Chains A and B, each alone.
Chain A
Amino acid sequence: MSCEYKVYDPSWCPGCGNYMIKTTLKQALEELDIPPHKAVIVSGIGQAGKIPHYIGANGFNGLHGRALPPAIGIKLSNKNLTVIAESGDGDTYGEGGNHFIHTIRRNVNIAHFVHDNQIYGLTKGQGSPTTAKGQKTTLQFDGVRFEPVKPVALSLTMGAGFVARGFSGDIPHLVKLMKEAITYKGYAHLDIFQPCVVWNKVNTFGWYKKHTYYLPDDYDYTNYEEAYKKALEWENGIPLGILYKVEKETYEDTFEFIKNGLPLVDVKLDPMDTEKLMKGFY
């Protein structure tokens, strides 16, 4: 078979959390029965951003911080494709911060998996937007001097309809979250703790295991106030699971011709159809 979800020799360090995320993604897509030619993985730059190369689906490995804009362009152009954006925490919340904010507002039907290792992996250990204040890095010798971004709180306040947090150390749980995010109609933000075993000596597998807990089964993820409280929890345990999930109109459905028409890419084009517009210039 030429086209299945398979691996092309990742260049990640042994023990890196990215391996589990890749395995999980593959499993989620297979379990959802989405064939590789119907899925597109869009990514930025960073260790996380290499993932389209290791999954045998359609891939768009673009620029640092810029995974989201092409993902939107792809989805609006062909609504039949399953579009998944994958990026690092620096990629998403740093270089791509502006795109992140405005993509949430747009609510295009894409799933966004952020490999949040709280450090810059590929560029060798500088602080990322999620690195804790005070943490010493290969660049911030005296420790990071300012507050980290709070990803899930940020996406909640921006109006995301699906906000979740996962951990690459628990594959079955993460598969469930990914499947929920992919099938959610709208922008789904899934921040995934991904230990960087080389550069982040603070947020290790053990640290995440110790500091996280699972949201209980009876947790009401439609309650915004509750979700916001959960999103801010940190010192006394970080919740994993779906923090918030409600139905919202997707961006593409606000375009009548996309909602009720063929995918844009399949619309037949004829230059003569444009002739009528000349009326306006007589």
Chain B
Amino acid sequence: MDYTILVGGAAGQGIDTVIHLLERTIKRHGYYVFTYKNFMSMVRGGHNFMQVRFSDKPVTSYVSKIDMIFALNEETIALHRERLKDDGVIIIDNEVAKAEEYNHLPLTQIAKELNNEKVYPTVGFGALVNYFGLSLDIAKEVIYDVLGDKISDVNKQALEKGYDMLERKYNLEKKDDNHILINGNQALALGAIAAGCRYYCGYPMTPSSSVMTYMSAKANEMGIVVDQIEDEVGALNMALGASYAGVRALTGSSGGGFALMTEALSLAGITEIPIVVFNAQRPGPATGMATRTEQSDLRFVIHAGHGEFPKMVIALRTPYDAFYQTARAFNIAEKYQIPVLLMTEEYLTDYNMTIDPFDFSKIKIERYLAKESDIIDERYKRYKFTESGISPRLIPGKVKGKVVLVDSHEHNEYGNIEESTDNRIKMMDKRMKKLEGLKDEIQEPWFIGKENPENLIVCWGATYGAVKEAVDILNTEGGSIGALIYGDIWPFPTKRINEMGKKAKRIIDIEQNATGQLESLINEFTDIKCTDRILKYDGRPINGDEIIQKLNLSI
């Protein structure tokens, strides 16, 4: 089984509520859920839609074909009916549209009878619950959990009224539910908190903001300072202050905001203050499309900051990945005293997916701080020359008689300004030496599909989900296809691509940008050449169906 319900309408009509109730109710019946959200940068009006896909097998992407449209306005039908399966149905409020072929439900009328016009989406939700044969009790439980005490009574009545409106077509029997339903930004935030991040400062920018929102909601419970700063320039400088003082700090933004942070990123480079920063990509240049998705900041992020200094860049592939990689990022940042940059993208930040619960016992907080006894010099050398390039890191205020001086100028071992040629070379070498250690930390890309495939896909980040679906389907149909999905992407891992790329007949680069930025890295760092490219940059996420279609053309 594999069904998709689309709910569409204008912003502010309640799509969110229906989707929330629906995805949670289905999940609690033990099914795999994937919710794709497509919205415009508007608070009221426009056209928004969301699709809940559910199946008894794991799902990692949205699909093109849909089984049901729940339309909150007529425009939704016009825009999406083409994608409806032959036996698919459309439901709509009878006061909104009259055409015969829809199921007209008296949603508004019931809501009025309940003296609360706002509950009409819940009436519709009730109809869906019966249609798919879901449990009314579980639906009520979800209403209570999602909407809270105050308004759940009237919503429960709305649910029951709606339940009688539509005949049952399917019977989704209840199975064990062992999953969580989470999006990439929530997973990133959880990973950070688990890793001991206790300082978040940022400036709102879609689609990064929900990390800050989640952390803010948990701030008091977990003892986290969450601060909305005047701008992104201040945000990263403040985070560096917190990290200098010994607290794990996080900041993040989307392209434009990240651009403002590059000045301070360079400061992190020369002061060797560990820091984790994420860039939640949206289409650019400049303001671009705020609520759409793209993977076009890869080159920008790996080169962000003026001057030369080591940094690490990790692209997040799934919510599961987001959790563990974020936690890992904090350890690597502290081990090497460098900035670690996380790249995510609107699609991943927003979609909701069922995954195994996180195993918090796997998270280790490794601080790599110097002990008092490690500081043997009379005057503490913050930038002591060492074999590895990593100097013992002390936190200010902790050791009597030792002070910690960090500096944005070129400096000597003590942190004092010094521009002699000898010192400059030594300091640059010291910083760059960290790259040697860092190379050992780099994880090769994930590989999925047939061993030694004739066709090798390369991609990075959240494109994983769509590629996974396509690879699985094509291989079941007898194809010979595999894929490398990059997570760690800077310093660029070359081992696996060199091995596999030499054997494959075709190498297909799939990215959500116009220039093939991953492909350009492969060209730069290996002898492998991609033979095909599927580049999508219309702001909408690619899915498995689309990849299969386009591969047919190019293979």
Contact surface of A with B, Cβ cutoff 8 Å: 1-3, 8, 11, 35-38, 40, 42, 45, 50, 52-53, 56-63, 66, 68-74, 76-78, 80-81, 98-99, 101-102, 255-258, 261, 264-265, 267, 269-275, 277-278, 281-282
Contacts and interface: CB of A to CB of B under 8 A. Distances in A.
Contact of A261 (B223, B239, B364): B223
A81 B397 contact: yes
A265 B194 contact: no
A98 B230 contact: yes
9 contacts: A3-B402, A52-B405, A56-B403, A70-B240, A73-B238, A98-B233, A256-B220, A271-B361, A271-B363
B364 A271 contact: yes
Contacts of A256: 220
A72 B241 contact: yes
B194 A37 contact: no
Contact of A277 (B177, B193, B234, B363): B193
Given A45-B408, A58-B405, A59-B404, 18 more contacts: A2-B401, A8-B416, A37-B400, A40-B396, A53-B416, A56-B403, A57-B403, A59-B407, A60-B241, A62-B267, A73-B240, A73-B244, A73-B249, A77-B246, A78-B246, A102-B234, A264-B225, A274-B190
Interface string B49-75: 000000000000000000000000000
B263 to A, nearest CB: 6
B91 interface: no
A55 B354 CA distance: 56
Interface stretch (B3-11, B178-186, B447-455): B178-186
Nearest to A82: B397
Given A2-B402, A78-B396, A271-B195, A278 B416 contact: no
A58 B397 contact: yes
A73 B199 CA distance: 8
Nearest to A50: B417
Contacts of B238: 69-70, 72-73
A112 to B, nearest CB: 14
A57 B243 CA distance: 18
B143 to A, nearest CB: 15
B405 A66 contact: no
A180 B28 CA distance: 61
B525 interface: no
B245 interface: yes
Given A59-B407, A69-B229, A74 B180 contact: no
Interface of B: 28, 177, 180-182, 186, 190, 193-196, 198-199, 201, 218, 220, 222-223, 225, 227, 229-231, 233-235, 237-247, 249, 263-264, 267, 271, 327, 357-358, 360-361, 363-365, 378-379, 395-409, 415-417
B378 A271 contact: no
A258 B327 CA distance: 24
Given A102-B229, A281-B186, A58 B237 contact: no
B408 A77 contact: no
Identify the interface centre among B177, B238, B239, B409: most chain A CB within 10 Å of its CB.
B238
A66 B234 contact: yes
Contact of B357 (A36, A50, A52, A278): A278
B418 to A, nearest CB: 10
Contacts of B190: 274, 277-278
A275 B360 CA distance: 6
B404 A58 contact: yes
B180 A274 contact: no
Contacts of B240: 62, 70, 73
B432 to A, nearest CB: 22
Contacts of B230: 98-99, 101-102
B357 to A, nearest CB: 6
B242 A73 contact: yes
A101 B229 CA distance: 11
Contact of B247 (A37, A77, A99): A77
A15 to B, nearest CB: 21
Given A69-B237, A261-B223, A282-B180, A59 B242 contact: no
B244 A70 contact: yes
Contacts of B243: 73
A94 B16 CA distance: 44
Given A258-B225, A269-B196, A278-B358, A38 B397 contact: yes
A278 B401 CA distance: 44
Contacts of B237: 62-63, 66, 69-70, 73
Contacts of A76: 199, 225, 227, 242
A76 to B, nearest CB: 5
Identify the interface centre among A98, A99, A258, A265: most chain B CB within 10 Å of its CB.
A265
Given A53-B407, A99-B230, A272-B360, A74 B223 contact: no
A281 B353 CA distance: 10
B241 A61 contact: no
B408 A63 contact: yes
Contacts of A2: 378-379, 401-402
A80 B225 CA distance: 16
Contact of A265 (B218, B235, B247, B399): B247
Given A60-B241, A102-B230, A272 B361 contact: yes
Contacts of B416: 8, 53
